[in-house]
Each structure stands twice: as structure tokens, then as C-alpha cells.
């Protein structure tokens, strides 16, 4: 940042780290009544914990077969239960506003149950009615005769039913049975999803915090993760990202470490972690240790009080906050886990003395809020309700196999927003680049124009990545955008590729339309989980309910002597994950039109620019235009053979085609698909049916390349038209070499392409 001077300073001294409070919150109900909790709220906390316990115990019964809700029923899927951890879920969610966000874990039934319960409690009558009508499809036409409490009770029943139905893989489940136990989301309640990847949600939650910060919507995100996640790299990247001082004191995110002592069987204390408390990690990210504190996760009021303080801090703009709650899971990692192989009976018995429900029942009865008989009756009614819900969920609808592809992509865009979101303030007036006498501009200028126009059109579009601000990107493809839109919409990030992608997903799910840049496609391997398990799968996994308007820009290189880790052509990597669209434009005209379309998509688009194309010129109209994804183009008409390629490799293909026509009289038709996913199969097949022969050229090694996929399509759909085998021209099966002679040999050039075609036509 040019407005901050980093000057040399080498004074002797020491660094002081603030104290982290440990178990300082009061746990007694008598202390908290009329301070942090009312009588009604306290009873609500008990009900929430009882719902969680009863739900989880029902899973145990179903798995063991001691309760059979329907003849022939068999429970399948994951069984990661949170029995013993109910106080963390109830205490945390009760301290949030109903429109705040949470993210959850594979052990997240309790989080989901609580988020829905408290959302329902906060709904006005009209919203309750809408929830009931939208949620089941079998609600009485007249709900007006019901009292407010009857509506709430009915909504709670529906919420628990939809949660159970999701675990059973039913169409009525919150995610239409696509996600199941480990991937449950409830978007009407601000539940952004549970995550089966340990730590996978940390960057998503951080992105939601970024969204709230930039949109100034006042929302908080509670990121609930287990102790195992704290040792994952994405945890460290996400917390560092959330603490960036360029936005003040950080993002409104509360990281809740639900420390149940074991990451499956690996014990945190004394085995895999070298600190006494996981919250000590907060000292690495800002000068106040992320307001870290350690509290009892077995005392629901201690949890609630700590979260209330963290929420207040975050809403003041002084987040993020880090809370560690010491708790214990009474069951194994899953129901197939032989938990006593890694812990002792003595340890378990000691923790059972601190059962969070038993502790709070004593507080409730001691303070006269309910009698023991009333509590017993409540527990019985909850258990009976859960049995009824299990029976109904078991009888719910199995998804129709014909709908298996539903929910993968949104069919909406931001194309019709009009002026509702138009940018009204500019730091500097946006201007298009000057065209030459033929109406041409550089490819990189076309990228900048596309981003500038879309950021002007829609103030929700933000651009971030490594070095995209003052420097303008490593290839000068974002120069000037910071000057126009300012640092809240164009900003640098840490060198944290996973965090860049994961936060962009969270931001896209919560109101922004991010364009995230990864400098080289080689670095996308750093983002493997966030790209493949999170961005690509989130929409489908959560029943098609999320909208993810996200563009990931990156570059392909080669030919510069950058060797094996900066020169790869990895377009097949994103293309293999259903849920991502993949674009690889070869001209300045295409890069502008396709990038504008990508920004307007309500789907994640992986957008590949080639470094050698940035200085190529093409005619680019000054008038508004877009290019649809999935529509290729014929770059050269021909009759003897079809040549299919994309991005910078098209230049070598065109040179080879010209040479073949001039020297051999061979007429080559060149197809540029422009987008790899969706692929314009019809255009390719039509050309091959005309010529009877096909060659596919890629810059990547052939084994596992996208070229092999194109060949498969041709073999399946145009086999009867082929006069011979389809040929693939690719790099060698080696990492990109640095030596100029080796690199030139490795990348398919006009000579090798022309030679392959000549051999086919002999």
C-alpha cells in the first residue's frame, strides 16, 4: 500500500502478548438471570439441548435397529454425533441474531437444529406461514385459525422433520437428500452449510464476514469447527485473512473452536498439539490475540455469555474473535468408532459428571423455573416427537433418479438488474482504452475493460487476489481499477490461495459477486479442497439452493522458461469437477465478452487467460456486448480435417493450417470451443461429420488432458463419420522444462501439428 511507509526500525525490545482469559465466565443461572438471560430464554436453551440430544439418540437407535420406523427401513450414511456437546451449539446460536450466519461441521446436527429453532422463534407470523407452506407441500390451506404458538410448534415440527429427512436422503430434506448428515444447510435460517472436510468451512465463514463488512449489513458469522480443524492449513489462512488491517480491525467473524479433545482418535492434549489451549493460536494474527478466550463448553450459560461478548466486539467493528470451548463427545467419532481403544473409562466417567443437560436441568430446577416433574414431562414429549418425526421421515419421498442433475447450476444471472446496483461514486472516471486505427486493443486491456464495466454496472462486484491493487496484477491485467473503485472493491490479499478461493465462495453465497484472481494456474493446486470440494460442490450438495456468482481468474503460461511450477496447462483440473464452468478465450474480443458474461453468471466460473495473449490485439467494439458460455466458433473453414484447440495454442494451429494449405493443398477447419464447460459439442461434431477426420491440440501432457475428453466426445457422437482415428497433439509426459530448447520442443508448435496432420492424410 503506497499510503503506508514501511521504514527500517531495529530497536531492541520484546513483544508482549495479551493475557487470554481461561474459564472466567460465570456458569450459574442465578448469576445470569436478568443479566444475560431471561427465564423464557433459559427454558428455551434447555429445550434446544433436549432436541439435539433426542435427535442424536434417535440416530443411535436407528443405526442399531432398536427403533425401526418403517418395515424394511435401513439407516445408511454418516453418524457423527454431538452427544455431550449440546451446550456449545445452543449457547452459541442463542447469542446470535436470527439473520446472522453460521457455518458448521460434519458433526453439525446440533448446530443446524439450533439455527433453525432460533430462526423460527424470531419469525413473524407471515414468515412462519410461508415457511410452513414452502417447506412441506402438505399443510392445511387455512393456517389463520392457529395461534402464534401453534404456528411456532408446527414450524418446529417441520424443521426437525426436514432435518431428519435429509439424514435419510429424502426429497423433503433441507438439501433434497443430496447432502445428507455431513452436508446439511438451511439457507432461510442463515445456515451456510455443514462440511465433511475438516476445516473446510473456515474460509467460507471468513468470506461471509467479508461480505457483511463490505455490504455493511450488520451481520455476524459464527464459524463452528472442531479441534481437529485448528491444525489444518485453511484455519490459519482464514484467520489471517480475517485479520487484515486494510479494512480496519478485521472481519465480523467469531471462530468457535469446539474442542471435544479428539480429532477422531488423535488426542489434542499431549499428543498432536504443542500448546495447552487451542485459543493461543490467536496470538499469531493480531495484537489483541483475536479477543481469544477459553471457556467451559459443558456449561451453556458460559458459552452464551462468551459469545454475546464476542458478538458485541464484532458488531463494533473490532472482530474477528476466537473462542475455545472445552467439551467432550460421549460417543466415538462415528458409531463405528471403537472409542475405548484410545481413551479410558476413568476419563469418560469424569466427563459424564459434567453432562451439559444434567448440569443445566439442576440450574433450572434450583432456580424454580421448572419443577423436576415438568422437566421430565418435557423430555418425554421431546422424545415422543422425535419418534413421530423419524416415522414420517422414513416414509418421505425418495428422490427420482431422473432428477439427479437438478441443482448443479443456476439458470439465473444478474443480467436484468437495471440500475438498482449501479456504482454511483468513482474515485476516478472510468474510461475505455483508445483503439488503434483498426479498432483493436490489447487482450489485457480487454480484461480490464470487462471488469471496469461490470464493476460500474454492479456495485456488488469486487476484485481481489495477490498484487491486483496498486501493482495491477503480475501481468498488468487489473491496472487502474484500484484508482477507479477504491480499496473496498479492489484489494490485495495474503499469499493464501486456499483462503482466496474459500472466502470468495463465502462472499458469493452472502451477497457479493467476487472476482478472485490466482496468479498462475499452477497455484490452483494449493486450492484443491476449496475449489473441488467447496466451490464446485456447494450448490448441488445443498440441494441447488445456493446462488454462487463467483469468477476465479487465472493464467496459463509456458514458453518463458519458468519451468515446472509456473508453466503448466491445468485446465483439465477444474473441468473434472461437476459444478464449475470453465472458460478459455483466445482473443481480446472473446475475453471481454466472455468475462462480462462470467461475472453475471450466478454460478462459479473458472476463467483462464493465457499470459502470451495479453499483448495480442483484436478488434473489440466500444459498444456493450456479451458472449454466451457454451458457444464455440469456427476460426477457419475447411473440408479435409477438423483441428480443435483453444487459448494460445490456436495461434500455432492457425499457422500450421496456413502452411498445410499453401504447401500441401490440405484444407483445415479450426474449431475454438472458447468454453470447455459447457462444451459446444454440436459445433465440434458437425465439423467432424463434414471432414471425417479430427486432431485435438493441447498445451498440457496428453495423459488425462482435456483433449482426451474432446476425443471421447468425438468417438461417441461422430464415430460413423470418422475415416481414421482421432489424433491428440500434446506436450510430452514431463513437467514443463526450463531450458529454451526443451521447452520449445515440449509445447506443440506449427511443425509438430502440421506433421501430425500430414501423417493422417497419407
b vs e for 644-667, b when ≥16 Cβ sit within 10 Å of the residue's Cβ? bbbbbbbbbbbebbebbeeeeebe
Within its chain, how far is the Cα of 628 from the centroid?
25
b vs e for 32-51, b when ≥16 Cβ sit within 10 Å of the residue's Cβ? bbeebbeeeebbbbbebbbb
Q: Which residues face 262 on adjacent strands? A: 267
Do 433 and 448 contact (CB within 8 A), yes or no? Answer: yes
b vs e for 234-264, b when ≥16 Cβ sit within 10 Å of the residue's Cβ? bbbbbbbbbbbeebebbbbbbbbbbbbbbbe
**Dihedral Cα 202, 208, 210, 215, nearest 10 deg:** 180
Query: Could you give the CA distance from residue 276 to residue 108 in angstroms, rounded to a whole number?
Result: 25
Within its chain, how far is the Cα of 405 from the centroid?
20
Strands 581-583 and 604-610: parallel
How many C-beta atoms surround the C-beta of residue 344 within 10 A? 9
Query: Could you give the CA distance from residue 354 to residue 325 in angstroms, rounded to a whole number?
Result: 14
Q: Where are the alpha helices (DSSP H) in 542-696?
A: 572-575, 588-600, 649-664, 681-691
Q: Is the dihedral of CA 247, 236, 465, 572 positive or negative?
A: negative
Residues of the chain by 3-state class (helix, strand, coil), percent to 5: 45, 15, 45
Stretch (H or E) spanning 517: strand 513-518
Q: Which residues contact 369 (CB under 8 A, 6 or more apart)?
A: 29, 39, 42, 43
Query: Could you give the CA distance from residue 62 to residue 80 in angstroms, rounded to a whole number?
Result: 14
**Positions marked catalytic:** 566
Do 552 and 599 contact (CB within 8 A), yes or no? Answer: no
Q: From residue 294, how far is each of 18, 198, 291, 360 by CA, in Å? A: 14, 21, 10, 20
Query: Could you give the CA distance from residue 590 to residue 54 in angstroms, rounded to a whole number?
Result: 57
Residue 277 in grid coordinates: 489451549
Which residue, 159, 217, 210, is CA-closest to 189? Answer: 159
Query: Could you give the CA distance from residue 706 to residue 708 in angstroms, rounded to a whole number?
Result: 5
Query: Could you give the CA distance from residue 173 to residue 163 in angstroms, rounded to a whole number?
Result: 6
Q: Which residues contact 510 (CB under 8 A, 6 or more apart)?
A: 101, 192, 207, 208, 211, 212, 219
Stretch (H or E) spanning 745: helix 740-746
Q: Write the DSSP string, 427-476.
A: SS---PPPP-TTSEEEHHHHHHHHHHHHHHH-TTEEEEETT-STT--TTS
Cα-flanking dihedrals φ and ψ of residue 296, to 5°? Answer: -70, 130
Which residue, 173, 192, 200, 168, is CA-closest to 79? Answer: 168
Amino acid at each position: 500500500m503506497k499510503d503506508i511507509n514501511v521504514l527500517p526500525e531495529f530497536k531492541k525490545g520484546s513483544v508482549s502478548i495479551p493475557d487470554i482469559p481461561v474459564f472466567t465466565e460465570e456458569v450459574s443461572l442465578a448469576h445470569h438471570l436478568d443479566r444475560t438471560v431471561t427465564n423464557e430464554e433459559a427454558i428455551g436453551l434447555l429445550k434446544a439441548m433436549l432436541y439435539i440430544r433426542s435427535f442424536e439418540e434417535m440416530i443411535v437407535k436407528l443405526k442399531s435397529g432398536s427403533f425401526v420406523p418403517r418395515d424394511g427401513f435401513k439407516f445408511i450414511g454418516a453418524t457423527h454425533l454431538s452427544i455431550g456437546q449440546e451446550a456449545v451449539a445452543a449457547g452459541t446460536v442463542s447469542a446470535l441474531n436470527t439473520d446472522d450466519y453460521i457455518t458448521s461441521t460434519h458433526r453439525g446436527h446440533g448446530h443446524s437444529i439450533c439455527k433453525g429453532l432460533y430462526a423460527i422463534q424470531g419469525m413473524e407470523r407471515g414468515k412462519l406461514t410461508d415457511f410452513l407452506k414452502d417447506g412441506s407441500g402438505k399443510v392445511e390451506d387455512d393456517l389463520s385459525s392457529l395461534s402464534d404458538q401453534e404456528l411456532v410448534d408446527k414450524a418446529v415440527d417441520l424443521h426437525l422433520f426436514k432435518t431428519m429427512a435429509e439424514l435419510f436422503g429424502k426429497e423433503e430434506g433441507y438439501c433434497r437428500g443430496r447432502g445428507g448428515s455431513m452436508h446439511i444447510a438451511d439457507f432461510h435460517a442463515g445456515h451456510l452449510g455443514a462440511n465433511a472436510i475438516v476445516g473446510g468451512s473456515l474460509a467460507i465463514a471468513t468470506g461471509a464476514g467479508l461480505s457483511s463488512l463490505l455490504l455493511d449489513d450488520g451481520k455476524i458469522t459464527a464459524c463452528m469447527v472442531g479441534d481437529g480443524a485448528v491444525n489444518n492449513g485453511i484455519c490459519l489462512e482464514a484467520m489471517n485473512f480475517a485479520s487484515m488491517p486494510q479494512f480496519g480491525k478485521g472481519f465480523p467473524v467469531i471462530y468457535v473452536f469446539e474442542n471435544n479433545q479428539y480429532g477422531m482418535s488423535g488426542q489434542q492434549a499431549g499428543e498432536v498439539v504443542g500448546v495447552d489451549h487451542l485459543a493461543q493460536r490467536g496470538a499469531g494474527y493480531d495484537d489483541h490475540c483475536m479477543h481469544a478466550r477459553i471457556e467451559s463448553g459443558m456449561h451453556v450459560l458460559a458459552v452464551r455469555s462468551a459469545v454475546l461478548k464476542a458478538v458485541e466486539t464484532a458488531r463494533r467493528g473490532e472482530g474477528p474473535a476466537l473462542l475455545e470451548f472445552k467439551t467432550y463427545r460421549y460417543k466415538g467419532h462415528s458409531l463405528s468408532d471403537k472409542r475405548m481403544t484410545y481413551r479410558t473409562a476413568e476419563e469418560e466417567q469424569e466427563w459424564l459428571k459434567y453432562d451439559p443437560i444434567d448440569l443445566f436441568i439442576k440450574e433450572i430446577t434450583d432456580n424454580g423455573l421448572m419443577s423436576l416433574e415438568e422437566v421430565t414431562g418435557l423430555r418425554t414429549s421431546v422424545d415422543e416427537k422425535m419418534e413421530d418425526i423419524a416415522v414420517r421421515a422414513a416414509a418421505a419421498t425418495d428422490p427420482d433418479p431422473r432428477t439427479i442433475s437438478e441443482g448443479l447450476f443456476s439458470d439465473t444471472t444478474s443480467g436484468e438488474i437495471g440500475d438498482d446496483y449501479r456504482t454511483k461514486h468513482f474515485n476516478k472516471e472510468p474510461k475505455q482504452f483508445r483503439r488503434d486505427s483498426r479498432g483493436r486493443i490489447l487482450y489485457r486491456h480487454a480484461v480490464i475493460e470487462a471488469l471496469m464495466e461490470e464493476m460500474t454496472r454492479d456495485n456488488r462486484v469486487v476484485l481481489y487476489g495477490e498484487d491486483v491493487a496498486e501493482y495491477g496484477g503480475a501481468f498488468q491485467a487489473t491496472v487502474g481499477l484500484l484508482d477507479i473503485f477504491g480499496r473496498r472493491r479492489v484489494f490485495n490479499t495474503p499469499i493464501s490461495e486456499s483462503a482466496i478461493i474459500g472466502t470468495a465462495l463465502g462472499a458469493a453465497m452472502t451477497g457479493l459477486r467476487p472476482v478472485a484472481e490466482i496468479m498462475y494456474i499452477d497455484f490452483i493446486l494449493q486450492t484443491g479442497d476449496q475449489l473441488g470440494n467447496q466451490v464446485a460442490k456447494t450448490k448441488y450438495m445443498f440441494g441447488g439452493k445456493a446462488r454462487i456468482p463467483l469468477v476465479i481468474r487465472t493464467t496459463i503460461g509456458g514458453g518463458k522458461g519458468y519451468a515446472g511450477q509456473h508453466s503448466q496447462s491445468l485446465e483439465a483440473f477444474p473441468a473434472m469437477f461437476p459444478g464449475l464452468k470453465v472458460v478459455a478465450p483466445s482473443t481480446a474480443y472473446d475475453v471481454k465478452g466472455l468475462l462480462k458474461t462470467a461475472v453475471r453468471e450466478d454460478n462459479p466460473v473458472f476463467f483462464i487467460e493465457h499470459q502470451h495473449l495479453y499483448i495480442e490485439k483484436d478488434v473489440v467494439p466500444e459498444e456493450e456486448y456479451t458472449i454466451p458460455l457454451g458457444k464455440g466458433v469456427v476460426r477457419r473453414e475447411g473440408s479435409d480435417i477438423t483441428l480443435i484447440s483453444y487459448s494460445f495454442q490456436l495461434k500455432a494451429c492457425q499457422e500450421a493450417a496456413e502452411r498445410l494449405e499453401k504447401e500441401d493443398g490440405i484444407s483445415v477447419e479450426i474449431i475454438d470451443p472458447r468454453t470447455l464447460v459447457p462444451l459446444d459439442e454440436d459445433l465440434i461434431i458437425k465439423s467432424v461429420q463434414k471432414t471425417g477426420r479430427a486432431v485435438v491440440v493441447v498445451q498440457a501432457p496428453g495423459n488425462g488432458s482435456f483433449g482426451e475428453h474432446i476425443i471421447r466426445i468425438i468417438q461417441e457422437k461422430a464415430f460413423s463419420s470418422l475415416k481414421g482415428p482421432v489424433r491428440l497433439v500434446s506436450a510430452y509426459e514431463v513437467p514443463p522444462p526450463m531450458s529454451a530448447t526443451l521447452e520449445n520442443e515440449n509445447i506443440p508448435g506449427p511443425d509438430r501439428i502440421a506433421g501430425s496432420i500430414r501423417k493422417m492424410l497419407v
